[in-house]
Amino acid sequence: MSVIEAQGVSLTFQTADGPVHALKDVDLTIGKGEFVSFIGPSGCGKTTFLRTIAALETPTEGRIRVNSLDADAARRARAYGYVFQAPGLYPWRTISGNISLPLEIMGFSKTDRTDRIARVLDLVELSGFGGKFPWQLSGGMQQRASIARALAFDADILLMDEPFGALDEIVRDRLNAALLELWAKTGKTISFVTHSIPEAVYLSTKIVVMSPRPGRITRIIDSTLPHERPLEIRDTPEFIRIAQEVREGLREGHSYD
């Protein structure tokens, strides 16, 4: 069953310096429970594509369907949680208070909010930190809190825009493993933007390689790795082969010329 469907999506920004072709003829189907990573150099349209799925941008051509709804209707139906590059937590609210905010806006009852906050804090292994303020937590913990916030209203889709890009490699490794565990536990469909080849290969069931000017898909790679992935899987020949395929895809798009 397809959860996200893009058909012939193009998006051109009109700027003072002329048109910028952020997306060109993007066709993609994401099935239920898939973990799809978008990889490509700066400016290839990864963020724009995620924002288009979330109805934060409107395609110039083509169409997007999310859970069989158009992108606007899906946004109103709260079909997904969105995790941004920076945690974006309000410093004057505790971690629980930050997770609670969207739930308050959506009109969840106090009891329901308390239950949901406890459940998502547990999912991201932050139980016991709900009463802390963001500045009392490390960068990795803050990013986990922002994931908890996106999970709290239990949408079955998670859109993640390079959530671990600013973190050091050790923390990132841990969060990658935690995210896979969470994905296995919840069965959510995840769209994930990254610049990192190992991160894309480690996490994904499908890797979408993109290239800039105009932003387009150059290759879609279905992962042959098993769903169960200890971090050591990164040293296996199969992992290295898929990473090589991603690298070739990037080169094909002349991304690093």
Ligand X SMILES: Nc1ncnc2c1ncn2[C@@H]1O[C@H](COP(=O)(O)OP(=O)(O)OP(=O)(O)O)[C@@H](O)[C@H]1O
The structure tokens 């480690």 sit at 202
Contacts to ligand X from residues 38-77, by CB under 6 A: 40, 42-48
Stretch of 35-43, 59-67, 134-142, 174-182 lying at the interface with ligand X (CB under 6 A)? 35-43
Rule CB under 6 A: say whether 13 interacts with ligand X: yes
Q: Which two tokens stand for residue 195?
A: 């610049």
- E-assigned strand segments in the chain: 2-15, 18-31, 35-39, 61-66, 69-70, 80-83, 157-161, 189-194, 206-211, 216-222
Among 215, 223, 229, 242, interactor with ligand X by CB under 6 A: 215
Displacement of CA 4 from its chain's centroid (Å): 13
d(CA 224, CA 201): 10
- Contact between 167 and 87 (Cβ < 8 Å): no
Residue in 151, 190, 189 with CA at minimum distance from that of residue 1:
189
Rule CB under 6 A: say whether 109 interacts with ligand X: no
Q: Which is nearer to ligand X, 5 or 162 (CB)?
A: 162
Q: Which is nearer to ligand X, 47 or 204 (CB)?
A: 47
Rule CB under 6 A: say whether 15 interacts with ligand X: yes
The CB-of-71 to ligand X minimum distance in angstroms stands at 16
The strand pairing partners of 222, in sequence order, are 206
Rule CB under 6 A: say whether 229 interacts with ligand X: no
d(CA 31, CA 29): 6
Angle at 173 between CA 199 and CA 231, to 5 degrees: 80
The CB-of-8 to ligand X minimum distance in angstroms stands at 18
- Contact between 183 and 192 (Cβ < 8 Å): no
The structure tokens 């809190």 sit at 145
d(CA 3, CA 79): 10
The CB-of-47 to ligand X minimum distance in angstroms stands at 3
Among 7, 20, 73, 93, interactor with ligand X by CB under 6 A: 20
Among 22, 74, 158, 242, interactor with ligand X by CB under 6 A: 22
Rule CB under 6 A: say whether 218 interacts with ligand X: no
Q: Which is nearer to ligand X, 48 or 94 (CB)?
A: 48
The CB-of-52 to ligand X minimum distance in angstroms stands at 9
Residue 117 is given by DSSP the state H
Angle at 21 between CA 18 and CA 26, to 5 degrees: 165
Query: With CB under 6 A, what is the number of residues at the site for ligand X?
Result: 13
Q: Which is nearer to ligand X, 45 or 87 (CB)?
A: 45
Rule CB under 6 A: say whether 121 interacts with ligand X: no
Q: Catalog residues that contact ligand X under the rule CB under 6 A.
A: 13, 15, 20, 22, 40, 42-48, 215
